[in-house]
Amino acid sequence: MISRDGRRVAFSGYVPERVAHEQVYLRDRVTGATRVLSATPEGYAADADCFVDSISADGRVVAFETSATNLVDGVDQNGPGDSYVSLVGD
């Protein structure tokens, strides 16, 4: 998915040498930077596949879904999948 101005692209991808599951990434086409959005605050990858749902028009908000259990504190017991929102700085 791409922001309205074309600057940011959110996508799911799998890099077998680095992670065991698809992760959500955000690519800034102006700076050339790519960052993982589906990670814990400590920087660990999600422990299940993640899929992009949407990106805001300005590219600063990305929604994704996953059945990962390590993205929130405590034990996730509310069912097979959850939706997350990642707020991206400028």
The three-state secondary structure class of 29 is coil
pLDDT at 22: 95
Q: Which two tokens stand for residue 13?
A: 């991808």
Helix (H) or strand (E) holding 63: strand 61-66
Q: Which of these, 57, 19, 58, 64, lies nearest to 37 by C-alpha position?
A: 64
User: Where residue 20 falls among pLDDT bands split at 50, 70, 90?
Assistant: confident
Whether residue 87 has pLDDT greater than 90 = yes
User: What mean pLDDT is predicted for residues 62-77?
Assistant: 86
Q: Which residue has the higher pLDDT, 26 or 20?
A: 26
| pLDDT (tens digit per residue) in 22-51 | 999 999 999 999 999 999 989 999 999 999
The three-state secondary structure class of 51 is strand
Helices (H) and strands (E) in the chain, counts: 0, 6
- Based on its alpha-carbon atoms, the radius of gyration of the chain, rounded to whole angstroms, reads 13
